[in-house]
Amino acid sequence: MRYRNPVVRGFYPDPSVCRADGRYYMVCSSFQFFPGVPLFESSDLINWTQIGHCLTRKSQVMLEGAGSSAGVYAATIRYCDGVFYMVTTNTSVGKNFYITTTDIRGEWSEPIYVEQGGIDPSLYFEDGHAYFMSNGVDDNGKPAIIQCEIDINTGEKLTLSRAVWNGAGGRYLESPHLYKIGGSYYIMAAEGGTEYGHMIVYGRGDSLWGPFENYPRNPVLTNRDLGGYTIQGVGHGDLVQSPTGEWFMVHLGFRQTDMWMPYHHLGREVCMTPVRFGEDGWFTCGNNGTTEQEYEINSDIPQNIRNVYTFANTSPDVEWCYLRHPDTSKYELSSECFVLRAGEHTLDDVASPTFIGIRQMDFRGTAEVEVTVDCGEAGLTMFMDENHHYDLMLRSSADGCEAILKLNIGDVKHEQFAVPVSSCRVRLSVELDNLSYTFRVIDGDRVIQCGSAQTRYLSSEVAGGFTGVFIGLFAQKNGCTALFADFRTEYR
């Protein structure tokens, strides 16, 4: 059976995976969006279902004032003695912490903080001991991948933080993980920055404290030299073994908009690449160290790709997200409609405007919703961050309603199109394409073409940061109350 990458589409970066009770569980970064750290489940590593989030309460994560691509960075998930552990960094407070649960579908604990710096923390368990690893600076001032032993019940450090590995010589050493396989310890990390030069490197040693000998052919996985290839930026991986003994690497990658257009706006997505161990104990990955879009594996389970998202087949607590901590009194969400009430903030603010969004999952398709407003502004936004978003909306005033297309690109905020409509209830539609978005409004029997805008201006290469585009619903200004109905996003 063949499967196709990415195995999870859209902005779900920095994947980490564990196996428990015959199933697999995966977490990803969430940055300034809430709830935080999306959580997935799978029985086969190919078909993943989001079952919720790990950070669901304000007490677990501070996001106030967190700019775009700040907040919650890369997470690691591990399972030991009946307990799940999710460990991550909140850059808004500059601290590493972990939370726990014995019920993967239930609530997670309050944070347990570890006084070790850096980002991208990971946990390793052995013989009743717990070890905490991150990139950063050790207690002697040495930058490296650093590690300490901790009391897993309290987070207290039981040893100094020690430098254990300096990687393979690339810049931005990050996302370390430690494994014991076949009697040897393997340490794996990413280098090159989470961009076109991204890569995965590893080393091997006889002690969990090192020294580690670098794999002679590092990097073990990278697409940095594959010009004109769709999947780029491959890095930040985690190893996992199937019940049949096969090894795979779950890692991030992004799809550029066209073979020769080095822009990506869907965000960093989840890919999976086969791993093979040699007789010498070293492992290789993919096709001569690169990730392909398709792989043949030993499985008879087909890959099911979900292409339709509606209010009825999604959950506000699962697929949908807010910006930072929302004022929940401003939202009434059901399987039939969403009612949003404007607060004091707009989409341009580093705050929590009245906004709820679902990730754009693929290049081509349509996103549509019927919106009714009583005053102010409300509509559909293709949202990258507070400085980069395209808004198709209704604006209500004493003179009636008009449909507006507003383009926000950096410091330029321009109302590209405005036309009166017959009522304050219309259908908003966005045609999705890899290179552009095309906007239209259906006003009764009239179809109003509002123009188009290029996707590149919502890309990470233009906007910066580490996130991806959301298809968002919003209400703002003048105490606006908006009713959204018949939402549908369909990919093709």
Give the pLDDT confidence of 217-239 residue by residue, as tens digits.
999 999 999 988 999 999 999 99
Give the pLDDT confidence of 412-469 residue by residue, as tens digits.
999 999 999 999 999 999 999 999 999 999 999 999 999 999 999 999 999 999 999 9
Give CA angle at 16 (209, 326), nearest 5°: 125
Give the residue carrying structure tokens 């209704």. 394
| Weakest mean pLDDT among 94-103, 128-137, 163-172, 238-247 | 238-247
Give the pLDDT confidence of 304-314 residue by residue, as tens digits.
999 999 999 99
Q: Extract the tokens encoding 303.
A: 């890959």
Q: Extract the tokens encoding 288.
A: 């001569």
Question: 347: left (phi > 0), else alpha (psi -120 to 50), else beta?
Answer: alpha
Catalytic positions are: 14, 174
**Whole-angstrom distance between the N-terminal and C-terminal Cα of the chain?**
22
The model's confidence at residue 397, banded by pLDDT at 50, 70 and 90, is: confident
Q: What is the mean pLDDT of residues 203-230?
A: 97
Instruction: List the domains of the chain with CATH numbers.
Output: 2-296 (2.115.10.20), 308-491 (2.60.120.200)
Residue 24 has pLDDT above 90, yes or no: yes
Q: Give the torsion sign (CA, 353, 358, 364, 369).
A: negative
The model's confidence at residue 287, banded by pLDDT at 50, 70 and 90, is: very high
Nearest to 268 by CA among 95, 436, 73, 474: 73
Residue 27 has pLDDT above 90, yes or no: yes
The proportion of the chain whose per-residue pLDDT surpasses 70, expressed as a percent, equals 100
Give the pLDDT confidence of 100-129 residue by residue, as tens digits.
999 999 999 999 999 999 999 999 999 999
Give the pLDDT confidence of 61-90 residue by residue, as tens digits.
999 999 999 999 999 999 999 999 999 999
β pairing state of 213-214 and 199-205: antiparallel
Q: Extract the tokens encoding 219.
A: 């990097």
Residue 297 has pLDDT above 90, yes or no: no
Beta strands across the sheet bearing 412-420: 33-34, 320-323, 354-359, 470-476, 376-385, 388-397, 400-409, 412-420
CA–CA dist 395, 190 (Å, integer):
47
The proportion of the chain whose per-residue pLDDT surpasses 90, expressed as a percent, equals 96
How does the average pLDDT of the chain come out, rounded? Answer: 97
Paired with 339 in beta bridges are 332, 483
